[in-house]
Chain A
Amino acid sequence: MQQVATLRAEVLRAAVIYGVCASLAEGGTHADEWLAWLEWVADLRSTLTGQTRSDHEPLAFPEWLQDLIDALEAGAYDEPRNLFAEPDFRDWSRDEFEVLAERARPIERLGLEPLGEIGDQPPAAGPRLLALLQDSLVLASAEDRQAWEQRVKAIELLEHLNAARAAGTWELLTR
């Protein structure tokens, strides 16, 4: 089902961008976790061609995030960024949530659970990742600091992504 494939591609793309950004902000850029995020970026850049929104290059980063990554590579990024004070991240989170919601609606209308019917093993890996990402995008765009603090940390999101990949949830993406 094309709508499901499109939603999966959007979920992956948003999850990786969110994860890279959260990882940068949490200061984990020299750890294995950061390397794992870069690996996800490389994987997705090679598999998402043509499956994301037409106004995006495959896994193109938003400009503000690319600036952060460029600064990191140039050695000019020496402390974690306070994402709460970063309106670009908040706006991006809000927009991404809307994109996911918009993509999920045609599937909802059919009476199906978005990402819940693709033969996942275990069955809940896809929906659980979508849920985690949705919640975190809402909280990342919240203006209330206490709500903001409840968003998912990069490492937890990475574990869910890896679990989904291990479960074969995303293999259809590359077909």
Chain B
Amino acid sequence: MKARPRQSERERVRGVMRAQEIIDLLGTTFIKASDLYVDLDPDGRQLTRNEMTKVREQMTAITLCLREIHSDHELIDYLAADGRRTGRDTDLRPTISLLRKAQRSFGLALSDDPQRRAETMPGKEFFRSFEPISRFWIDL
């Protein structure tokens, strides 16, 4: 008869499965958000109706993703520390940080107020953060 896995083993397996879910969700969200950001290259202009629809959809997708992983911060910190220990980069926090910046900037790009729109993160600034993170996702 096969022995039942111990509690700690079950927790480990659950942690691994959850980590994989987080990685899949973050990766997909990051790629879609980056595609739109680079394509949009917000510069403070009033967006077209079509652009606004896309930005709203993407902003909601980013937000739902971040909300979904909000309570997983311990696991995310653990992954980062584990990666440092084993010499593999498994730190998801830079991706989360860039998604937060994109979320804020999408919100500003949608504003009716031109002064607020002018505060949107320019495409160049986005790209500076995007480059190392995209390499991380390719390596992963």
Contacts and interface: CB of A to CB of B under 8 A. Distances in A.
Contact of B63 (A98, A105, A109, A139): A139
A105 B104 contact: yes
Contacts of A109: 125
Interface stretch (B14-22, B29-37, B111-119): B111-119
Interface in B53-76: 59-60, 63-64, 66-67, 70, 73
Interface stretch (B4-12, B84-92, B95-103): B95-103
Contacts of A139: 60, 63-64, 67
Interface in B94-138: 97, 100-101, 103-105, 107-108, 111, 113, 116, 119, 121, 125
Given A98-B116, A102-B119, A131-B100, A150 B105 contact: no
Nearest to B73: A124
Given A147-B64, A150-B67, A101 B108 contact: yes
A94 B108 CA distance: 10
A22 interface: no
Interface in A55-107: 94, 97-98, 100-102, 104-105
A142 B73 contact: no
Interface in B34-56: none
A61 to B, nearest CB: 22
Interface in A99-121: 100-102, 104-105, 108-109, 113
A104 B104 contact: yes
B60 A134 contact: no
Interface of B: 59-60, 63-64, 66-67, 70, 73, 97, 100-101, 103-105, 107-108, 111, 113, 116, 119, 121, 125
Nearest 6 CB-CB pairings of A with B: A101-B104, A138-B63, A105-B119, A135-B67, A101-B107, A135-B63
